[in-house]
Amino acid sequence: MFEAPSIIFAAAGLAVFAAALLPKLLRNAPLSMPMVFLAAGMLAFSFIPELPDPDPLQYGEFTTHLTEICVIISLMGAGLALDRPVGRRTWSTTWRMLGVAMPICIIALTLLGLWALGLGLGAALLVAAALAPTDPVLASEVQVGEPADDEDETERGEDEIRFGLTSEAGLNDGLAFPFVYLAIAISLFGPAPSEWFVPWFFTDVLWRIGMGLLVGWLAGKALSRLFFSARDSVRLSNHSEGFVALAATFLAYGMTEMLEGYGFIAVFVCAVTIRAAERTHGFHRVMHSYVEQLERLMTVVILVLLGGAIAGACSPALAGRRSWWRWRSCCSSVRSQAGSAWPGARPVRGNGLPLPFSASAASARCTTSRTRSAKVTSTPKQRNCGRSSAWWWQCPSCCTGPPLLPS
């Protein structure tokens, strides 16, 4: 009677209705929709044993692409919603947040990781690069509203704070990637800039950012002509089909990634370019409405699954009898794409990342490291358990305690 597929269908229907009602019900409440769905996922997966275990580590590739799609859809919606044309003065708040506030946050979080958490430089920088950007999905409730479709509404302008959060969230995820690659480079080669600066600066900064900007602008220009300037029989703006915004999202992202650029930047630039072609056209509101609804649905799915994953990690029964809050050590290898970006690279012992980006989970060896002092020159004691794992909290029970990496 109560089989897993029927329970999932019923829960999905309730979640979709809740996604439509909660933004209105919680408008004046000290709660947000993500908080409610995260808690709902934790409760559902804790008390309904028929539901499968949504372990993001077991389904790593699916989890990566699902969250990736949600982010790029959100970036397309953010770009379409901005009424203000791009300019040095009109976007001055955005440039200050990206050029001043974001680097300061990364530096401060890196120092905090070094001094308070005892992480190595590469690990601390990686954590800082992950935490510094504003999330364009979870920050959607404090962003600008729908695109304006008349001159009077455009001239009234947007709230400066909401505009700054929206425009900054559209670019900061892509601009945080160079710091992620910098953390990987430091972990591979050590902190000496002479070992990694040239390939990092020209590949991960200039080339990847340049490709994101160029491909996004070209895709936006081509699609805006198809939307607004083509002959009537193929002019998509005459048909009010909002799902073409999804086609623009995937096209800009896929083309940029094929050229080793930052697809997040390309999607946002593509959306802003499309919006600039016909700033007050009603088709922008059609596309934005479709993207916003799709983003909300995907956010609900991801948050419920995340709540289930948290419940599974905290419950020994749901987590396959894993121990309660057992700390495990990590592997010092980095993911395969880092190896391709840095040919001939070798891991630096004692300076690995706390969350390993391993080239192969099957070949990753679990090690427990202890250092007698916080100095880089100290010699770590290592104990190889002979097991394989992709993440340090999944290592077998012979590993005890979190790794203490030298700073």
Q: What is the DSSP string of 274-325?
A: HHHHSTT-THHHHHHHHHHHHHHHHHHHHHHHHHHHHHHHH-TTTTTSPPTT
371 shares a domain with 267: no
Please give the residue range of the domain that contains residue 361: 336-394
Q: How far apart are the first and last CA of the chain?
A: 56
Residue 244, SS3 per DSSP: helix
Is there a domain that residue 322 lies in? no
Gap between the Cα atoms of 401 and 374, Å rounded: 17
Indicate whether this model's pTM tops 0.95. Answer: no
Asked whether residue 331 is assigned to any structural domain, the reply reads no
Same domain, 266 and 344: no
> Total domain count for the chain?
2
Kindly state whether residues 177 and 300 are assigned to the same domain. Answer: yes
Residues 343 and 280 in one domain: no
The answer to whether residues 368 and 300 belong to one domain is no
| 310/341 same-domain check | no
262 and 144 in one domain? Answer: yes
> What is the tens place of the pLDDT at every residue in 186-220?
999 988 888 899 999 999 999 999 999 999 999 99
Q: Are 360 and 211 part of one and the same domain?
A: no
- Same domain for 99 and 215: yes
* Residue 329 maps to a domain: no
pLDDT per residue as tens digits for the range 132-190:
877 666 666 677 767 766 555 555 566 788 888 888 888 988 899 999 999 999 999 98
Is residue 375 located within the same domain as residue 276? Answer: no
- Asked if residue 401 is part of any domain, the answer here is no
Q: What is the pLDDT of residues 10-29, one digit of tens each?
A: 878 888 888 888 777 777 77
Any domain includes 405: no
Residues 166, 309 within the same domain: yes
